[in-house]
């Protein structure tokens, strides 16, 4: 089933329509990857692309929250997220190795040549 792709990124459309000798191998690889999904890629200005426009906007609720209403619990959560820890590279590597889901993801993408994340 063919998929029609509409993008507000006009240079992408022209890059896919013509072969370019100036594109880097990295750019060629990515253009090739994108072109696997659709041959029908068209430009549509962002202001007329209602779905993309809606998805790119911030949640309106974010703007309605008064800073004074944020309680101390939220401050503690934010502080823990943005705090800088003193983690050595050795400790960082050990925590990555201990994360079984991360190791499974890495192993899958290292051994799968069709993966877009394959080195």
2 and 50 housed in the same domain: no
> Residue 5 CB: number of other CB atoms within 10 A?
17
Count how many Cα atoms sit within 13 Å of the Cα of residue 18 in the half-sphere of its side chain. Answer: 5
27 and 55 housed in the same domain: no
Q: Which domain holds residue 51?
A: 46-60+75-118
50 and 108 housed in the same domain: yes
pTM of the model: 0.39
Q: Look at residue 98 in the predicted model and tell me its pLDDT.
A: 92
Q: Report pLDDT digits (tens) over 4-43.
A: 788 888 888 888 887 777 888 898 888 888 888 777 888 8
Position 69 in a domain: no
Q: Name the nearest CA neighbour of 10 among 55, 54, 42.
A: 42
Q: Structural domain tally of the chain?
A: 2
Confidence band of 109 (pLDDT split at 50, 70, 90): confident
Q: Report pLDDT digits (tens) over 65-104.
A: 555 555 555 666 666 666 666 778 888 888 889 999 888 8
């Amino acid at each position: 089933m063919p998929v029609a792709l509409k993008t507000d990124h006009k240079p992408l459309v022209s890059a896919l329509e013509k072969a370019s000798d100036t594109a880097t191998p990295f750019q060629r690889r990515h253009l090739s990857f994108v072109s696997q999904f659709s041959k029908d890629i068209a430009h549509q200005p962002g202001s007329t692309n209602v779905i993309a426009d809606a998805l790119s906007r911030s949640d309106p609720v974010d703007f309605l929250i008064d800073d004074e209403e944020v309680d101390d619990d939220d401050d503690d959560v934010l502080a823990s997220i943005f705090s800088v820890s003193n983690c050595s590279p050795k400790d960082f590597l050990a925590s990555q190795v201990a994360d079984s889901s991360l190791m499974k993801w890495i192993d899958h993408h290292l051994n799968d040549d069709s993966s877009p994340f394959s080195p």
